[in-house]
Structure formats: structure tokens, C-alpha cells
Amino acid sequence: MNGCTTGKATAEAPLPVEQAQLTAPPLVPPPISRKGPAKVVVDLEMVEQEMRLSDGVTYEFWTFGGTVPGSFIRIREGDTVEFHLKNRHDSHVAHNIDLHAVTGTGGGAEATFTLPGHKTQFTFQALNPGLYVYHCAMAPVGMHIANGMYGLILVEPEEGLPPVDREYYVMQGDFYTEGDHGAPGLQPFSLEKAVDEHPTYVVFNGSEGALTGEGALTANAGDKVRLFVGNGGPNLVSSFHVIGEIFDRVFYEGGSKYQENVQTTLIPAGGAAMVEFTTEVPGNFILVDHSIFRTFNKGALGILSVDGEMKPEIYTGQQFSGEYPEAEGGR
């Protein structure tokens, strides 16, 4: 090492090694502060388990990390990622992972054919910054995705993302059950409805009401908010909208360019978007799929609860409610 030129020594110096901190939705790991690449070790376990889909309704979910969507992974452009994938011993089928952030065969799927009770490993370099979906690609792939096997991996650009006050992880998915919407009990997967693309549930973060009540996202008036929004599908394309907010910036399709002043953004199945806005006034701001029957009849509804002082110069709330006189000579 001592004999090398400075430039070469830097290029060949071993990368610092760190363990990726994974988070369950709607939380996001903290921004990456280091200024150079690292070797990042990701440990992710695939778990099949019965969880709540709606009030009184459960489903046998297949998951990355025990949640739907799966654990959020945050790395930096240029990082070398050593990916360890485990399939829990009580899983009943094999799984794998296709990360859209990977440049290579199958996005890692061909390297991670993982039986129950087994683990696999592969390494990739994150060449492109962006917000990427990952999902299980094991046959029958649609069923693995329909059962909840998807999540997001963020590859921060080298310069990082501009600081904001709040970051959240929201991912839409469509679910297909034998029983109708609301039919109680453990609901089996309906292959017919999935093939016909007629979902029983369309939800954010794996269950109806995951982002309401105790689960509502929170912010203070004046906060800059960044939402990492994914769409696992398997079938539907999302018309993502936040009622009462205008997105200052949308990094559409999870890419590097942004559009400004957007009302509703389209998120493809197997795609993502970063949306940023400032919460000017307090209130409950409702996250919806503006393909709106999905919100009112299938569950695609979340809440961002914003605290703070009213700002009547921006929004007054109701100023008058009453009858008005029928016009003279009216019908």
C-alpha cells in the first residue's frame, strides 16, 4: 500500500463495511451522511404469516421482513451491496428477490432461489440513483406479489437528497380474496379475480386503515414532507393524490427529473415516485388512489395529520353556510 500513488491507493482502498438499517413501513431509515461509497450488508428474511387485511379480515401474507410492504432499504449510488436473503423455516414455498435497482440477470432473482430454511447471497453495485421496487419473482410470480412480496429500495444520488423535515414510506397494493370486500375471517387468495384484475382490496401499506387512526402519518404545519411512494401492484396502476395538497415536486417514476406543481401522479405497478410538498396549514390530508372507487369501496385511503396554527390567508375553512333566496321568476 505504501508504494502506491495516492490516487491508486484511494481507488483500491477497501470499502468501509456497514450493516444496512432496515425499517418497517411507514418509517424510512435516516439519510446517508457519508460522502463516499461503502460495502453495505443487507439481511432480509422472508416470512409467510397471517395478518390483518381489514377489520375482522385476515390474509396469509408472504412478506419481506414480516411487513407489507417489505422493509425499506436505503443505500447510496456507487455502494456495493452484499445481499443476504433468508427464507424462514416455516415458509411453505421457495422465494427469491428481484430488485429493480440491480443491473444484472433477473435483478438478483436468479441468484436468490431460496428454499424454506435456506439462505442465499449475491452482491451488486448500485449504478443508478433512484427509488426502486423490489419483489419476489418466484413462479407463479403474480401470486407471490399479490400476497404482499414487494417493497422499496432507495439509491440516494452521490450528492444526497435535499434535507426535509419528514420522510415516509407508502406503498399501494391490490389484493384478491375469495370473499367479498369485508367478508370476515381468513380470506384465501382468489386466482380468478387476480387473473381478471378485479381486486377485492386496494390498500396502502398492506391493510385497510394502516395509515389511519393510530397509524396516520403526522407532520407540523410548515414541514417539508417527502413521501416515498411505491406501487406493488400486482395489477393496478395508481392515480396517487393527496387531498388538499399540491405536490411541489414529483420525481416521477422514481427517476432523477422532477415535475413541479402536480395534483395527481401516476405510479405504475412495479414502479415508484418521490413526492415532496410543504404542509402550509393544519388539517387531515387524505392520501388516495384517485381512481376513486378504490378509495371509497376498496380501502385505498390514508391520512396525513398536520398540526399547527390556522393560516386564514391561505385557507379559511368554512366562512358561511345557509340558504340562499330562490331567484325572482325562478322555476
How many of the chain's residues bind other proteins (CB under 8 A)?
A: 33
Nearer to other proteins among residue 66 and residue 116 (C-beta): 116
Cell triple for residue 163?
Answer: 434535507
Cis peptide before 14 (omega within 30 of 0): no
Q: Does 269 bind other proteins (CB under 8 A)?
A: no
* Residue 37, Cβ density class (10 Å: 0-12 exposed, 13-18 middle, ≥19 buried): middle
Nearer to other proteins among residue 76 and residue 193 (C-beta): 193
Q: Does 137 bind other proteins (CB under 8 A)?
A: yes
CB of 90 to other proteins, least distance (A): 5
Whose grid coordinates read 381478471? Answer: 196
String marking each residue 173-202 x if it binds other proteins according to CB under 8 A: -----x---------xxxxx--x-------
Phi, psi of 206 (to 5 degrees): 85, -10
Pick from 176, 182, 181: nearest CA to 197: 176
What is the length of the chain? Answer: 331
- Pick from 45, 48, 167, 280: which binds other proteins (CB under 8 A)? 48
Pick from 53, 46, 24: nearest CA to 298: 53
Nearer to other proteins among residue 20 and residue 111 (C-beta): 111
Query: Following DSSP, what letter does each residue of 192-210 receive, concatenated?
Result: HHHHHT--SEEEETTSTTT
Residues in 112-131 that interact with other proteins by CB under 8 A: 113-117
Q: Does 143 bind other proteins (CB under 8 A)?
A: yes
The stretch among 28-36, 132-140, 150-158, 272-280 that binds other proteins (CB under 8 A) is: 132-140
- Pick from 22, 28, 109, 272: which binds other proteins (CB under 8 A)? 109
The stretch among 18-26, 121-129, 136-144, 309-317 that binds other proteins (CB under 8 A) is: 136-144
Q: Does 98 bind other proteins (CB under 8 A)?
A: yes
**Single-letter amino acid, residue 228:** F
Strand-pair partners of 267: 238
CB of 50 to other proteins, least distance (A): 9
Cell triple for residue 95?
Answer: 422465494
Q: Does 51 bind other proteins (CB under 8 A)?
A: no
- Pick from 94, 161, 164, 221: which binds other proteins (CB under 8 A)? 94
CA atoms within 13 A on the CB side of 52: 9
CB of 42 to other proteins, least distance (A): 20
Torsion 76-77-80-81 (CA) sign: positive
Q: Does 139 bind other proteins (CB under 8 A)?
A: yes
Question: What is the chain's alpha carbon radius of gyration, rounded to the nearest angstrom?
Answer: 22
Nearer to other proteins among residue 158 and residue 178 (C-beta): 178
- Pick from 11, 33, 92, 213: which binds other proteins (CB under 8 A)? 92
CB of 139 to other proteins, least distance (A): 4
State how far the Cα of 206 lies from the Cα of 3, in Å rounded to an integer.
Answer: 56
Pick from 11, 30, 13: nearest CA to 22: 30
- Pick from 140, 162, 184, 312: which binds other proteins (CB under 8 A)? 140
State how far the Cα of 295 lies from the Cα of 130, in Å rounded to an integer.
Answer: 28
Residue ranges in contact with other proteins by CB under 8 A: 48-49, 60, 89-94, 96, 98, 105-106, 109-110, 113-117, 137-141, 143, 178, 188-192, 195
